[in-house]
Structure 1
Amino acid sequence: MTRSLFAAVLVATTAIFPLAAARAGQAPGMVSQPDVPVSHRDRVYAAEQFSNTVSVTDPADNRLLGVIRLGDPQPGNLSPLYRGQVLVHGMGFSPDHKTLAVVSIGTNAVSFIDTATNTVKHTTYVGRAPHEAFYTPDGREVWVTVRGEDYVAVLDGKTFEETGRIKTPAGPGMQIFSPDGKYGYICSSFNPETLVVSVADHQVVGRVKQASPFCPNIAATPDGKQVWFTLKDVGKTQVFDARPPFDLIKTLDTGPITNHVNFAATAGGTFAYVTIGGLNEVKVFRTDTFEPVATVPVGNLPHGVWPSGDGSRVYVGLENADALAAIDTSTNRVVATVPIGQAPQAIAYVPNAVPDGDGTANLQPLGTAGDTAHLALGAVGEGGAAGADGAGGRDAKPASSVTLFSQGLTQVLQASVTGLEPKTGYVLALSDRPDGKGKLEPLTAFTTNPAGAAIVNTVGPIRQIVQGPAKDDRRYLTIASGTADQPGEPVQLQLP
């Protein structure tokens, strides 16, 4: 049977036998399983932490269908009687592709969403600050990394009730499973050690040293041979053998704010796609030789990444652009950009998520979740220095991207800061002069990571005073050395 005829038969039969395409030959499934061609039955989901939404995109025409609202923006979510979710962040899905597991960090929740109806069918509350959740390949359990504590919560895959805990070093970041379901791999966000756990009995069977304590993401290759994990604080990606004795194979210098990694199995081989937030790029590596084969500019602060069911595309969530970027894996070029909700974190491509109907029930318009403003900061003395009018030149090269996510009269400000001294204290401030040398009004202090980068957040009516024509009450975003009590010289300035 030819590949095209096989694909046609597969599409025709998935509605009758949905489990036949339950896990495609792409991560997190086995490479030996059949690919699932892109269709209107597939969905791309993104967890959006400042609008507290899950966006739903049809990849067949790269069109946003709407959002699932799990909560409200500020100030509604500050009420003591608030019942929604806050900081919608992590995401996994069941092997039969009928259920999403969505983690909300601020409310310690895992929301289980029916992919056919876009409704929450159950919410399980776990320990402090969970980060990611994923089903075991047999669908019997859901493992939830409770990053604010020292364990993985194990939930029943049908009742969604907690049935046990797997003890880990403090701050488990994420877990993923070997495609055959034998092992669970749990990296840490607070300790430099990844655990390998037997799924059958929840016993630790291996330990892998991390080059730094902060791992936000981990993924297993669909051939079951390798596990890759990212280190956000030092800008590295490490690879270890997925089988005993779980030896470390390779350490790659990938770049500041290295976020997530995933794979596309193609006719030319299996490739790792790594999102580099500080460079606004996705770097592509071969998994056999670890050779870098492409660098793909995608937009501000790429975060989550997931392949389509046939490996023909890789989707990337752009945290500071409120968008999905679709990369064609045959050319490694962005072929579509889809507007979605605020600050997408984890994303998931789910083949055959909606076997019947149009799958738009209970979706809501994007609304205020699409209301954002974008700014940039340039380095003083390197294109960002003051020009004749005191502002950075229009040819200045941005060093840091800033997004203002509307919450009504206020905004959540998030800056993806790069190009600073490592492990050094700085202040994000408002200046009454565009050259940053006037009076500074500190917004928040921060310390850069070992790669000289940081994700910086604050809240306030900032857009109203940093945009528009110059006037007496106009202020300019500035990064200065020092502390909030004693800010020093400006090092980055707001670009016009």
Structure 2
Amino acid sequence: MALAPDGGFAYVADSDLGAVLRLDPASGAVDATIPIPEAPPQLVTFAPDGQRAYVSAYDETFATNYVVVVDTAIDRPVMAVPVGRGPYAMATGPDGRLLYVPYYDEDHLDVLDTGTLALVHRIDVAPSPHWVAFTADRRFAYLTNHFSDVVTVLELDGHRVVTTIPVGEGPHSIETSPDGTRLAVVNYVSDDVSLIDPATDTVVGTVPAVGAGPQDVTWAPDGRHLYTANVDDGTVGVVDVQSGTVTARIATGDSPTSVAVTPDGSRLLVTNFGDGTVRLLDAAGG
């Protein structure tokens, strides 16, 4: 699931249905169903202006793998290209011209031209790159490497690896704080969150026991809280960033895999893979 940049709607990838659902975040109603015929859709990201969405689509054996472009004005696919094995949590660069594609079952990151989906760069990284986040100054990308227990730092201008940062076990999702001073990494195996200072490329804090099997993380707009989707215990963890402690675990459904917060910080959207639902939660409840 991904929330559009303006918060007006969300796209939810439904691999069983073979479609992306357009969701009203205020009511939870499905406004449109967008078939993705190439392969089961898995994850979604938006262009910075929200006019396009990029969908990763692959089957369970990684035999069929695609990046699909959806025009959000008409809720319809307009382009698709075959790619490597298991395209995962893609991200568009800060200016929207490049798409960064990590692969679950590869040891490189592809950089595609968003206008044509042509390959521009291929960057060798540690195995199983999962998720991409960018620094506030638009100079660097940070990439979780799920089976290597590191975060890879990439210089965007040269498309080169600068360093790797050891984190917890099984790093999965990563997101930059609203003020740009921290990156939060959820570690699926060690059940914790690593906080990285991009000025020094070091882990400056670890929040333990956020929940069982955290797969996704997002910041509150004011940067005071983090929310984690904990797939193995059916909860969303609420982290007070200043104290580095978990203040609540909110029961949400069967196997939550993604969490997003509305731009005003009032509501959380949580996808539950196990029961095929999307829950809307009051963020203040945490």
| TM-score using structure 1 length | 0.54
Corresponding residue for 2:54?
Answer: 101
**Gaps (5+ residues) in structure 1?**
1-21, 24-35, 72-83, 333-496
Tell me the amino acid that sits aligned with residue 236 of structure 2: V
Query: Which residues in structure 2 correspond to 1:65-464 (within 5 Å)?
Result: 65-71=31-37, 84-86=38-40, 88-106=41-59, 107-212=64-169, 214-266=170-222, 270-332=224-286
Deviations 1:257-312 (A, max 9, x none): 2111111124xx52100011222110111222212222211111111111212222
CA distance in 1, matches of 2:209, 2:138: 30
Corresponding residue for 1:10?
Answer: none
CA contact (8 A) 1:302 1:319 kept: yes
Deviation, structure 1 residue 51: 2.0
Tell me the amino acid that sits aligned with residue 180 of structure 1: D
Deviation, structure 1 residue 233: 2.4
Deviation, structure 1 residue 60: 3.0
CA distance in 2, matches of 1:44, 1:245: 32
CA contact (8 A) 2:207 2:246 kept: no
Which contiguous aligned blocks of 4+ residues in structure 1 show a shift greater than 6 angstroms?
none
CA contact (8 A) 2:91 2:99 kept: yes
CA contact (8 A) 1:95 1:137 kept: yes
What SS does the corresponding residue of 2:17 show, helix, strand or coil? Answer: coil
Fraction of identical pairs, as percent: 24
CA RMSD of aligned residues (A): 1.8
CA contact (8 A) 1:91 1:133 kept: yes
What SS does the corresponding residue of 1:330 show, helix, strand or coil? Answer: helix
Tell me the amino acid that sits aligned with residue 331 of structure 1: G
Greater relative CO (CA pairs within 8 A, separation 6+)? 1
Tell me the amino acid that sits aligned with residue 101 of structure 1: Y
Tell me the amino acid that sits aligned with residue 197 of structure 1: L
The structure in which a higher percent of residues are strand is: 2
- The number of equivalent residue pairs is 279
The structure in which a higher percent of residues are helix is: 1
What SS does the corresponding residue of 2:224 show, helix, strand or coil? Answer: strand
**Gaps (5+ residues) in structure 2?**
none
CA distance in 2, matches of 1:55, 1:260: 19
| TM-score using structure 2 length | 0.91
